[in-house]
Amino acid sequence: DASAMQWLPASATKGLKYPYLFTQSQAIHARSLMPCQDSPGIKTEYTARVTAPKWCTVLMSALADTDKVTEGEKNVFVWKQPNPTPAYLVALAAGNLESREISHRVRVWAEPEVVESALFEFSETEDFVQAAEELTGCPYQWQRYDILCLPPSFPYGGMENPCLTFATPTLLAGDKSLADVIAHEIAHSWTGNLVTNHTWDHFWLNEGWTVWLERKITAKVRKNEEFGRLSSQVGWKHLQDDVKLLGETNPFTALTWKLAFGEDPDNAYSGVPYEKGANLLMYLEEVVGTELFSQFVFSYIDTFKFNTVTTGAFRDHFVSFFDKLAAAEAETNTTPTKSNKKKKNKNKNNKDKEDGPSAAAANAVQAIKGLDWNSLFYSTGLPTDVTSFSNSLSKAAEDLARKWIALSATYKTDAPPAGCSATDLEGWSTMQKNVFLETLQNYTKKSLSHPSDVFTAAFLELMDRTYSFGASKNAEIMLRWQTLCLESEAEWIVDPVVDFITSQGRMKFARPLYRLLRASTIGKQIAIDTFEAKKDIYHPIARKMIAADLRRAAEAEEKEAIESQLEAEAELSSSAAKVDTTPVVTTVETESDDEAEVVPQKAPEEVVTAPTAFAVGTPEATSKGLSDQTPAPMGSPDRSITPDFSTPAATPTVTPAATPAKIATPVAPAPTPAKEPTPAPTPVATPAKEPTPQATPVATPAAKEATPAPTPVATPAKAATPAPTPAATPAAKEPTPAPTPVKEATPAKVAPAAAPVAAAPAPVAKKEDAAPQRRPVATSHEVSTFSWSGVSIFVALAGAVGFGAFFFTRRFRR
Ligand SMILES: [Zn+2]
């Protein structure tokens, strides 16, 4: 029942033949998987040894250390992550998997039925990685970048597990139009995985930077700066929606949080750290100029790589970088070196040119002095210093939407607006179509008080005949199209909506559509019945969230009924005015999409039965849109998961393998006192820098059998317990190490207590070195055990020992 794991029965996979397992550790689920210091500020290298049935391919967020070895009826996989990584980035997946090469370091993994589509969809991955290397000035440090396309129940868009990004199958749009999610996960290879937020209070440093970099990557690869602004515009709407949902004064709408001790970081999750974080970086870029900001990015990554960073450290580094730059340039300009003299003479009449660079740095320093850092980091609500997103791409979409809106007012004939036709959207990106549909949504929302202004079903049918949104294979477009139609109460959209939300379990799509269906007059009961009948197909986290959404809707209805009754009674007797009708305060949860979802704190225990498949075998089942995609399963399993694989048997045992207890990167102190931006801790030493050659990147298809499974690492005094459990299964595939960054997975919130280990979520501000203060926790490697129908997977997570050793080292050192 580890909250980090989701066990899927064969019926929930595309192939329908074998079960499937995947983990999701962010933010604080790693503790349910292994003994560890489950805080992002603590990093360590690790090794792992996994035993699985022969049919099964095992993948981890690490490099294959040796070829797969057969031991009896099972295969043994050995993994090694040579870079220091935090526990939340430890991931494992196992199932009937195949791979295809994209480049010397990039490969896609998926079930055989989906692998070709994944290969096509993610074919630009190597270009993205190269673009990120250029933008950060830092070579890719994880050796392999593999992508695992998960089953449809994956509740998130992606998760940036090092060497092996986990991705939702809803990205398989058939036209590479959703590849920006992969750009996001790739960006995490630098911002998040290499430079990590010191505690979850500073989550914006992971996600804000990653969104910023993701947009730079896509703009660079597409050779069009407008893409970045277009994406920012769509992101801005997301931010507005989330701030509205949370409330403008909600402390979690500030960039830097102050999570209480023991509080689940997912409680704070929303689009805020992503979009508000990216907005701050865009603003700073504007303040100092793009050219100088690029230099700062190089310095930031180089300074903090393999380490962690706090908000204060970020600010201090930013300030000092420009101070030094200005000083150096001033010196260059005033020191009469030979070459300088020459230059000066040469440019005697061109002072501007001569002083250009140093003046720019000095100007930047001046501008930085005017920044109100406290406000930037700690103010709640929408940011005030926002860069303009205006761009030609969104303007075209908004103009077209306005034509349709104008037509809707006088709509009589069954013809599109003058000059409009199916070719309007030709060449448009997904983002542009999103802007078009969101512009229409904004209009209908505003018109709700004038129901006659809302689009009619016939009008929407005309739009669909013109642009075929209902037949789109793109899940993002499907979401917005169905949202628009539901808000307009077009009855014929109900069936497609039901198809869509039962064919994949990504929370970004399922949750809002369930809520809208429930709120509509045309689908209220259908929403309730559909969930009741299909809830087992969802990942436990998604199931819990949708159930909570529906419950809240019911409660709100009830409350409203009571209030109106009270009002009526109050009217009857004027003296009743004193009746206390204070409404119960309900907590609002953001609907974070892809990334981490806000999981209701104490969700009612639900008995989870094994998920039954999404419309796996029936591609067409999905609404016209996603036909044969398999929605990806999301990472974070819920505590309530009950793996119910029929086979009683074998329980794979995870055994901590040898673990090199290394000390990972020193963590920067995480100060973040209340207001003041905390003094920036300077990260310091970065242990493992160079990529370690070693990795055995690729999997070797051909099975190499029989190699004694070497246990890579030395095992310190602890006994590594290799626990091979033989479960033979025919056909074996080989795993290949695959690094993969994922999008933003946000781990579901977990019940705090998961594991035996003390890991602590975000420590409270002001404690420097919060980590060391934690209780020591189990260092002994406890063995986690999970079972999988008759098979056992035996994972030796040396990392467990490593984390423990790191902890003690730090603790006793001080
Ligand atoms: Zn992310």
Q: How many residues does the chain have?
A: 814
For residue 714, what are its two tokens? 């030395």
Q: How far is the CA of 59 from the centre of ligand 1 (A)?
A: 21
Q: How far is the CA of 255 from the centre of ligand 1 (A)?
A: 15
Contact 605, 544 (CB under 8 A): no
Chain mean position to CA 138: 22
pLDDT band with cut points at 50, 70 and 90 for residue 448: low
Residue 367 confidence (pLDDT):
97
CA dihedral of 530, 531, 534, 539, whole degrees rounded to 10: 150
User: Would the CA dihedral through 57, 61, 64, 65 be positive or negative?
Assistant: negative
Residue 450 confidence (pLDDT):
52
Sheet holding 5-8, edge to edge: 5-8, 20-23, 92-95, 57-60
Does the annotation flag 159 for ligand binding?
yes
Separation of alpha carbons 628 and 651, rounded Å: 33
Does the annotation flag 463 for ligand binding?
no
Does the annotation flag 158 for ligand binding?
yes
Q: How far is the CA of 736 from the centre of ligand 1 (A)?
A: 24
Does the annotation flag 381 for ligand binding?
no
Bridge-based pairing state of the strands 20-23 and 307-309: unpaired
Residue the block writes with tokens 């096509």: 120
Residue 67 confidence (pLDDT):
75
Q: How many CA atoms lie within 13 A of 326 on its CB side?
A: 17
Separation of alpha carbons 542 and 321, rounded Å: 44
Q: How far is the CA of 728 from the centre of ligand 1 (A)?
A: 38
Residue 332 confidence (pLDDT):
82
Separation of alpha carbons 48 and 34, rounded Å: 11
Residue 575 confidence (pLDDT):
61
Q: How far is the CA of 278 from the centre of ligand 1 (A)?
A: 11
Lowest mean pLDDT among 140-149, 398-407, 611-620: 611-620
Bridge-based pairing state of the strands 69-71 and 63-64: unpaired
Residue 518 confidence (pLDDT):
96
The larger pLDDT score, comparing residue 771 to residue 88, is at: 88
Q: How far is the CA of 585 from the centre of ligand 1 (A)?
A: 31
Residue 434 confidence (pLDDT):
94
Separation of alpha carbons 541 and 595, rounded Å: 12
Contact 470, 622 (CB under 8 A): no
Q: How far is the CA of 27 from the centre of ligand 1 (A)?
A: 12
Strands (E), 198-316: 307-309
Does the annotation flag 282 for ligand binding?
no
Q: How far is the CA of 744 from the centre of ligand 1 (A)?
A: 3
- The string of DSSP letters for 13-49 reads SSSSSS-EEEE--TTTTGGGTSS---STT-EEEEEEE
For 555: left if phi > 0, alpha if psi spans -120 to 50, otherwise beta; the answer is: alpha
Which of 554, 595, 507, 506 is closest to 192 using CA atoms?
Answer: 595
Residue 539 confidence (pLDDT):
81
Neighbouring CB atoms inside 10 A of 459's CB total: 17
Q: How far is the CA of 205 from the centre of ligand 1 (A)?
A: 10
Q: Count H helices and E strands in the chain, helices first.
A: 21, 16
For residue 110, what are its two tokens? 């998926």
Separation of alpha carbons 292 and 270, rounded Å: 31
Mean pLDDT of 693-700: 36
Which H or E element spans position 197? strand 195-197
Does the annotation flag 34 for ligand binding?
no
Q: CATH class for domain 1-344+353-388+563-604+632-814? A: mainly alpha
Does the annotation flag 773 for ligand binding?
no
Q: How far is the CA of 217 from the centre of ligand 1 (A)?
A: 14
Q: Confirm whether 443 is a catalytic residue.
A: no
Beta partners for 99? 109
Q: How far is the CA of 752 from the centre of ligand 1 (A)?
A: 22
Every domain of the chain and the residues it spans: 1-344+353-388+563-604+632-814, 392-562+605-621
358 has pLDDT over 80: no
What's at 402, amino acid-wise?
A: R
584 has pLDDT over 80: no
Q: How far is the CA of 188 from the centre of ligand 1 (A)?
A: 7
Which of 28, 141, 112 is closest to 741 using CA atoms?
Answer: 141
Q: How far is the CA of 186 from the centre of ligand 1 (A)?
A: 9
248 has pLDDT over 90: yes
| Percentage above 70 pLDDT, the chain | 66
| Percentage above 90 pLDDT, the chain | 53
- The mean pLDDT value of the chain amounts to 75
Lowest mean pLDDT among 273-282, 511-520, 659-668, 774-783: 774-783
Separation of alpha carbons 729 and 427, rounded Å: 48
Contact 664, 46 (CB under 8 A): no
Does the annotation flag 431 for ligand binding?
no
Catalytic residue among 274, 300, 378, 443: 274
186 has pLDDT over 80: yes
707 has pLDDT over 80: no
Does the annotation flag 117 for ligand binding?
no
Q: How far is the CA of 181 from the centre of ligand 1 (A)?
A: 9
708 has pLDDT over 90: no
Does the annotation flag 768 for ligand binding?
no
Catalytic residue among 98, 121, 185, 591: 185
178 has pLDDT over 90: yes
Beta partners for 48? 79, 797
- The correct answer on CATH 1.25.40.320 for the domain covering 392-562+605-621 is yes
Separation of alpha carbons 766 and 613, rounded Å: 47
Mean pLDDT of 78-85: 97
Q: How far is the CA of 207 from the centre of ligand 1 (A)?
A: 5
Contact 49, 711 (CB under 8 A): yes
413 has pLDDT over 90: no
Q: How far is the CA of 185 from the centre of ligand 1 (A)?
A: 6
Contact 627, 10 (CB under 8 A): no
Q: What does residue 673 show for φ and ψ, rounded to 5 degrees?
A: -65, 175
Contact 79, 47 (CB under 8 A): yes
Contact 255, 268 (CB under 8 A): no
Q: pLDDT of 711-752, one tens digit each?
A: 333 333 333 333 333 333 333 333 333 333 333 333 333 333
- 810-814: long-range pairs with CB below 8 Å, 24+: 810/663, 810/769, 810/771, 810/772, 811/772, 811/776, 814/769, 814/772
Residue 614 confidence (pLDDT):
60
Q: How far is the CA of 595 from the centre of ligand 1 (A)?
A: 7
Q: Confirm whether 274 is a catalytic residue.
A: yes
Residue the block writes with tokens 């497609």: 496
Does the annotation flag 29 for ligand binding?
no
Q: How far is the CA of 273 from the centre of ligand 1 (A)?
A: 10
573 has pLDDT over 90: no
Does the annotation flag 506 for ligand binding?
yes
619 has pLDDT over 50: no
Which of 544, 515, 727, 513 is closest to 622 using CA atoms?
Answer: 513
Which H or E element spans position 355? helix 351-369
Separation of alpha carbons 45 and 662, rounded Å: 6
The three-state secondary structure class of 298 is: helix
Q: How far is the CA of 248 from the centre of ligand 1 (A)?
A: 23
Does the annotation flag 26 for ligand binding?
yes
DSSP 10: G
Chain mean position to CA 470: 27
Q: pLDDT of 98-152, one tens digit each?
A: 999 999 999 999 999 999 999 999 999 999 999 999 999 999 999 999 999 999 9
Neighbouring CB atoms inside 10 A of 552's CB total: 17
Rg (alpha carbons) of the chain, rounded to whole number? 27
Q: What is the largest CA-CA distance in the chain?
A: 95
